[in-house]
Amino acid sequence: MKVAIIQHDIRENAIEWNLQHIAPLLEEQRGADLFVLAETFATGFLAEGSTQHAADDGRLILSWMQQQAGRMNAAIAGSVATVDAEGRLRNRLYFVRPDGSYDYYDKRHLFSYAGETKDYAAGDRRVVVAWRGVRWMLQVCYDLRFPVFVRNHQDYDAIIYVANWPLKRRDVWQTLLKARAIENQCFVVGVNIVGRDKYCEYVGDSVIIDAYGKTIAQCTPSEIGTASAELDMEQLIRFREKFPVLDDAD
């Protein structure tokens, strides 16, 4: 399983521009089985006007993900501000396959500090997606701070965290990604943005971490770019059998 992480910037509410600039980055990692984009990768986090336009924008962005997944013959994951069937705004992480089918996870832990709870509805379910021999737990940004919800019940092999995580909390991002990998004996894929918006500066620090807590791929901080790694599932299985942390869990 080859996983590619796409570290990009975002222009607020400039969907066409964002998608046009992400597409060539996918080409840099052609042959990957999974591409991971950032949180609200096409609009920006809490972008102005997101509530009013989220229904149409969400459909447009999902359609683009389906097209790109088919073109690359790979799955694509990234979060989108969209509206559910009941008209509630969701921060929804889509996992889209090459045939256009998809699963999604609605962000459980909304970032109240920045006002996300004012407009968005929180999700209420864990979501694990199987893809090409790997079981993926889907998570979004602030979820990283809540280990109980994501505790591995031997039902997944890797966690995806997509984020808009600011420079001023950089150490937290780096520390907790490793912690989640070690305590859940799994791979962790963390994808963050670069650049600046009216609130914060972002340096990326997008990484792929193995179950030992070691970084096996990373993007250059503060730069747009990509990186990839092969996930060795046989090694993970041997590690879990030799050192059965998950069997001894509470």
Note the pLDDT tens digit of each residue in 14-56: 999 999 999 999 999 999 999 999 999 999 987 665 666 788 8
Pure H helices in 83-232: 116-119, 170-184
Q: State the Cα–Cα distance between residues 68 and 26, nearest whole angstrom.
A: 9
pLDDT given at position 198 = 84
Instruction: Based on the residue annotation, tell me whether 183 is a catalytic residue of this protein.
Output: no
Q: Using the Cα atoms of residue 82, residue 84, residue 89 and residue 93 in order, give the sign of their dihedral.
A: negative
In the DSSP assignment, the letter for residue 221 is T
Q: Supply the mean pLDDT for the chain.
A: 95
Kindly report the number of other CB atoms within 10 A of residue 119's CB atom: 15
Backbone angles phi, psi at 97, to 5 degrees: -100, 165
Q: State the Cα–Cα distance between residues 43 and 16, nearest whole angstrom.
A: 9
Note the pLDDT tens digit of each residue in 209-218: 999 999 999 9
Token pair for residue 112?
Answer: 């109240």
Note the pLDDT tens digit of each residue in 61-104: 999 999 999 999 999 999 999 999 998 999 999 999 999 999 99
Token pair for residue 158?
Answer: 């890797």
**Res. 202: pLDDT tops 60:** yes
Which of 16, 28, 48, 107 is catalytic? The answer is 107
| pLDDT mean over 217-243 | 98
Instruction: Based on the residue annotation, tell me whether 219 is a catalytic residue of this protein.
Output: no
Comparing CA positions, the residue from 39, 46, 209 lying closest to residue 140 is: 39
Note the pLDDT tens digit of each residue in 143-173: 999 999 999 999 999 999 999 999 999 999 9
Kindly report the number of other CB atoms within 10 A of residue 12's CB atom: 16
DSSP string, the chain: -EEEEEE----TT-HHHHHHHHHHHHHTTTT-SEEE--TTTTT-TT-TTHHHHHHHHHHHHHHHHHHHHHHHTSEEEEEEEEE-TTS-EEEEEEEE-TTS-EEEEE-SS--GGGTHHHHBPPP----EEEETTEEEEEEEGGGGG-TTTT---SS-SEEEEE----GGGHHHHHHHHHHHHHHHTSEEEEE--EEE-SS-EEE---EEE-TTS-EEEEPPTTS-EEEEEE--HHHHHHHHHHS-TGGG--
pLDDT given at position 119 = 87
pLDDT given at position 49 = 54
Which of 2, 27, 86, 141 is catalytic? The answer is 141
pLDDT given at position 207 = 98
- CA dist list (Å): 27 to 20, 96, 169, 227: 12, 17, 31, 12
Token pair for residue 232?
Answer: 């060795």
| pLDDT mean over 4-14 | 94
pLDDT given at position 28 = 98
Token pair for residue 219?
Answer: 């993007």
pLDDT given at position 175 = 98
pLDDT given at position 30 = 97
pLDDT given at position 177 = 98
Which of 2, 28, 39, 198 is catalytic? The answer is 39
| pLDDT mean over 120-149 | 97
Residue 176 confidence class, pLDDT cut points 50, 70, 90? very high
Is the model more confident about 45 or about 123? 123
pLDDT given at position 52 = 65
